[in-house]
Amino acid sequence: ATPTQPRAATHPLAIAPVPSPPSSVDGFVKQFLLNLNFDRGVALSESSVTDQYFALAYTVRDYLMARWLEDQKRQRDTQAKGVCYLSAEYLLGRQLDNNLLASRLTDVASEAMAQCGIDIEALRAEEVEPGLGNGGLGRLAACFIDSLATMSVPNIGYGIRYEYGIFRQTFVDGQQVEQPDAWLTYGNPWEFPHPEAAQTIWFGGYTETYDDGGVTRSRWIPGWSVVAVPYNYMVPGYHNGRVNTLRLWSAGATSSFDLREFNSGDYQEAVRAQVFAENISKVLYPEDSTPQGKELRLQQQYFFCAASIRDFLDNVLPEGFDLERLPERVIFQLNDTHPVIAVPEFMRILVDERGMEWDAAWALTQQCFAYTCHTLLPEALEVWSVDLLGRLLPRHLEIIYRINEEFLLEVREKFGDDEMRIRNMSIISEFPQRSVRMAYLATVAGAKVNGVAELHSQLLRDKVLPDFSEFYPDKFTNVTNGVTPRRFIRLANPALADLITEALGAGWTVDLERLRGLEAHAEDPEFRARFAEVKAANKRRLSEVLWHRDRFEVSDGHLLDVMVKRLHEYKRQMLKLLHIVTLYERVASGRVAASDLTPRTFIFGAKAAPGYDMAKRIIHLINSVGSVVNADPVLEGRLKVLFPPNYNVTLAERVIPAADLSEQISLAGKEASGTGNMKFALNGALTIGTDDGANVEIRELVGDDNFFLFGQTEPEVEALWARGYRPAEFYRENDDLRRAMDLIASGAFSGGDRSVFEPIMSNLLYDDRFMVLADYASYIDAQERVDAAYQDQDAWTRSAILNVARCGFFSSDRSMRDYIDRIWHTPPAPA
Ligand code: T68
């Protein structure tokens, strides 16, 4: 048995008698003081805010512990089918409030802290959010594990415990400067390390063939190894007593490795080995949607996949489990291609280590894995050069070759010797260099392949993987993304949550379609007034946060127009900026009176990948336009541009509930789904958006009257490319556009320096891959409809309520139900 297999130890108590909720304030205080004294080693009177935060976190943990231990034991006993979610990213956000909410301890904890003379708000502010993800994909994983726990579905989330998460963004002279995210500096009260359960993960070396009783087999003689130490995190369900597990792996040196060096007297080498090994989980790659093909990244991917697969087979499954029955026990869900190396690893274990026949192993693999694709950008599809892969994982490369060989035989059988098609479908591409297409490998290996919104799944079938969808017509499916209403309504917007509960009763938090009940209330003037007051209060709260954080002031009575997401050209922050510059230029040139502007505050939040020059230039331009616009008296304070640095989950929870207008303006056919769009609509913002990703479904649900649609559709985009897109023509033919671009080009936002933003301007004029100029006129027009609609505040509020009422579909609980029905087939867990 491995160190994590249970021992036979028993005692009548079995689980320590920690008070379990609902609980008294006294009991909570007692437990808190125990933790403060015995774990932190300080007296209350001597304790720092950090001590108090840790003791509070430990106390919440204590209340969840019995349930966590029970759920693990029950799962060991019942071996119910569960989901292993494999994801290189989990963008969790702060844990304290979520865990208090899940365990019904929010009020008890506040009262207990008050009795100790502690301001719980100060403790909340003390928590550093774990930023172990880049954006949508990582946050989606966090929403999904929350929903699975809330629905009592057996689940282990597997990933990487990066020592440094997504960088902390600062601005120096308007330009992004990245700082390391040292989130573990003061320790982390939410994790449980298990160094005794570490795994050894091997890399490199070579393969050899050997004779196995007359059959020639291949085996891997690896060259070097690191250890993977599991860190467990509790994932509590909301009010159901369920606690699932998130298991993140941290890399370290193997003792044999550095001991050998140490014994030979080379201490420097031993330390170097240590550093080398620890590097593997050192830092999250900050590239979003542009894979870098770096060796360390592949090491990270294999590191966590190998550790997770082995953990599941050796520690989670009972000893002697019949692997033929694995599909009844588990599904490994691949969150994009980042964990696809788990497929050849799984095959290697079955075939090389467990002696299973290839065909039997492959049949199991094709039942036990499923793949979610999160992109449509061709440059975002991950490929690994055969060279690199073969050097790092030689046996896995052989396995991939064999998978490909047999797959292409099947293709020939079905489609004949159509060499063009064979080349197009091969998992190995030959140009520009021989490499492995990870999305193809995932598609061939997976039982199912899904996109993340209706439009995306359709384009995935028709445009990205057309040959595959013809070959495997039943493999492709859609699961539209969703977001957790616990974090993004209950925690982020308590005032709205209370208003909803008052109107609809409790229960909507786990059955979000019930929000439909608000439709009737939208017709009630008093309800509308209260809803509007909630929005106003959220704006005041945001205003305080931004003042405290960045010394920004948010003026009263402004329409809050928000665009928060990673900075990427396809998302088109430039289009938003051209709108702002247009409004400014009209007033500055005297063509429009400032008093005719709808007062608006524009809020941006966006990190750029550190190596993405154009994105960084656009950040610089946003800040530069902001400086000029915010300072120019000609606008009479009617336009403000705020760009708080370091947009993250914590800030999202304050910004989204305050927003009036949600900017979802990607070029049609480029944004796979979006999830921010759902969070805004559920918090009563109206969307201005293109027919892209999940915007399509939002608009269908809320209705055209409650959504500001603009821009080309995906087929129109295709048709314009086919005709020949010349952006300069749009520049020449649209006066407003020309004036706005000329103003930027003139150096008006760069102290007269015309060179700073020239690369952005010439890119727009002569390339404009994302058709900013083509959609400009339509966007400006839609913004004028926004201004007009905002004049009638009461009608606006009615629309906002209808957005909330009609977006219950976008709960991640519904996404989980869809995954269960269409892909996982995990039976409902016992209550
Ligand atoms: C996003 N993708 C999609 N990628 O862009 C978004 N990529 O439309 C969708 O809603 C979301 O996934 C959830 O499905 C990403 O966020 C990444 O973050 C990423 C990270 C590393 C490498 C490539």
Task: Give 464-478 pLDDT, tens digit per residue.
Answer: 999 999 999 999 999
pLDDT on residue 355: 95
Instruction: Encode pLDDT of 626-675 as tens digits.
Output: 999 999 999 999 999 999 999 999 999 999 999 999 999 999 999 999 99
pLDDT value, residue 830:
60
Atom of ligand 1 nearest to the CA of 694: 10
Annotated active-site residue 566? The verdict is yes
Beta strands in 315-434 (DSSP E): 330-335, 369-372, 383-385, 428-429
pLDDT digits (tens, 9 = 90+) for 171-188: 999 999 999 999 999 999
How far apart are the C-alpha atoms of 477 and 373, rounded to whole Å?
11
Residue type, 459: L
Position with higher pLDDT, 271 vs 228: 228
In the numeric block, the tokens 């958006």 are attached to 689
Task: Tell me the pairing of strands 661-664 and 559-564.
Answer: parallel
Mean of pLDDT values over 20-43: 90
Return phi, psi of residue 700, to 5°.
-60, -40
Amino acid at 502: E
Average pLDDT value over all residues in the chain: 96
Beta carbons of 240 and 150 less than 8 angstroms apart: yes
pLDDT at 116: 98
- State pLDDT tens for residues 410-439: 999 999 999 999 999 999 999 999 999 999
- In the residue annotation, 571 being an active-site residue is answered as yes
Asked if residue 380 lies in contact with residue 342, where contact means CB atoms within 8 angstroms, the answer is no
C-alpha pair distances (Å), 223 with each of 141, 257, 394, 607, 673: 33, 11, 11, 38, 42
How far is Cα 193 from Cα 153, in angstroms, rounded to an integer?
24
Which domains, and CATH codes, for the chain? 1-79+102-129 (no CATH), 83-95+131-314+328-480+818-824 (3.40.50.2000), 495-809 (3.40.50.2000)
> Which pTM value belongs to this model?
0.97
| Residues pairing with 87 in the sheet | none
Per-residue pLDDT at 5 exceeds 70: no
Distance CA 234, CA 229 (A): 17
Give, in order, the Cα–Cα distances in Å from 151 to each of 94, 156, 290: 21, 14, 34
Over residues 295-327, the pLDDT tens digits come to 999 999 999 999 999 999 999 999 999 999 999
pLDDT band at 1, cuts 50/70/90?
very low
d(CA 643, CA 627): 10
CA of 135 to the centre of ligand 1 (A): 6
Averaged pLDDT for residues 742-763: 98
How many angstroms separate the alpha carbon of residue 420 from the centre of ligand 1? 31
Encoding tokens for residue 371? 């793949």
Q: What's the CA gap between 394 and 226, in Å, rounded?
A: 17
Residue range 58-85: average pLDDT? 96
Note if 675 is an active site residue. yes
Q: How many CB atoms lie within 10 A of CB 219?
A: 14
- pLDDT value for 262: 63
Q: Of residues 247, 374, 586, 670, which has the active-site annotation?
A: 374
Q: Does 561 score more than 80 pLDDT?
A: yes
Which atom of ligand 1 is the closest one to the Cα of 372?
14
Q: In the predicted model, is pLDDT for residue 263 greater than 90?
A: no
Nearest CA to ligand 1 atom 17: 288
**Residues within a 6 A CB radius of ligand 1:** 134-137, 140, 287-289, 291, 374-375, 452, 481, 671-675, 693
Kindly provide the residue ranges of all beta strands, DSSP E only, lying in 389-433, ordered along the sequence: 428-429
Q: Which residues of 233-254 are buried (b: 16+ CB within 10 A; e: fewer)?
A: bbbbbbbebbbbbbbbbbbbbb
Residue 288 confidence class, pLDDT cut points 50, 70, 90: confident
User: For atom 23 of ligand 1, which residue has the closest CA?
Assistant: 289
What pLDDT is stored for residue 290 in this prediction?
Answer: 78
Q: Count the Cβ atoms, other than its own, within 10 Å of residue 705.
A: 10
Q: Whose CA is nearest to atom 6 of ligand 1?
A: 674
Q: Best substitution site from 300, 374, 690 to test ligand 1's pocket, by max atoms within 8 Å of Cβ?
A: 374
User: For residue range 227-239, what is the model confidence (pLDDT) as tens digits?
Assistant: 999 999 999 999 9
Is residue 448 annotated as a catalytic residue, yes or no?
no
Quick one: pLDDT band at residue 3, thresholds 50, 70, 90? low
- 593 versus 258: which is more confidently predicted? 593
Is the pLDDT confidence value at 363 over 80? yes
Q: What is the DSSP string of 589-625?
A: TTSS-GGGSPPEEEEEE----TT-HHHHHHHHHHHHH
**What's the pLDDT score for residue 257?**
62
Q: Say if residue 349's pLDDT is above 90.
A: yes
Q: Which pLDDT value is given to residue 11?
A: 80
Residue located nearest, by CA, to atom 10 of ligand 1: 674
Q: Are 827 and 161 in contact (CB under 8 A)?
A: no
- Identify which of 574, 572, 578 has the alpha carbon closest to the alpha carbon of residue 741: 578
Q: Which residues contact 26 (CB under 8 A, 6 or more apart)?
A: none
Banded model confidence at residue 255, pLDDT cuts 50, 70, 90 = confident
Pick the closest to residue 131 from 353, 20, 288 (CA basis).
288
Is 749's pLDDT higher than 50? yes
How much of the chain, in percent, has pLDDT values that exceed 70? Answer: 97
**Which atom of ligand 1 is nearest the CA belonging to 674?**
10
Atom of ligand 1 nearest to the CA of 290: 23
With beta carbons less than 8 A apart as the criterion, state whether 707 and 686 touch: yes
Give 733-741 contacts, CB < 8 A, sequence gap 24+: 734/776, 734/777, 736/582, 736/585, 736/586, 736/780, 737/578, 737/582, 737/773, 737/776, 737/777, 739/582, 739/585, 739/589, 740/578, 740/581, 740/582, 740/585, 741/578, 741/765
Model confidence at 9, pLDDT cuts 50, 70, 90, reads: confident
Res 337: pLDDT: 98
Q: Is the pLDDT of residue 21 over 60?
A: no
Q: What is the pLDDT of residue 260?
A: 66
pLDDT(488) > 90: yes
Residues 586, 620, 654, 679: which is the catalytic one? 679
Residue 709: name the closest of 694, 695, 688 by CA. Answer: 688
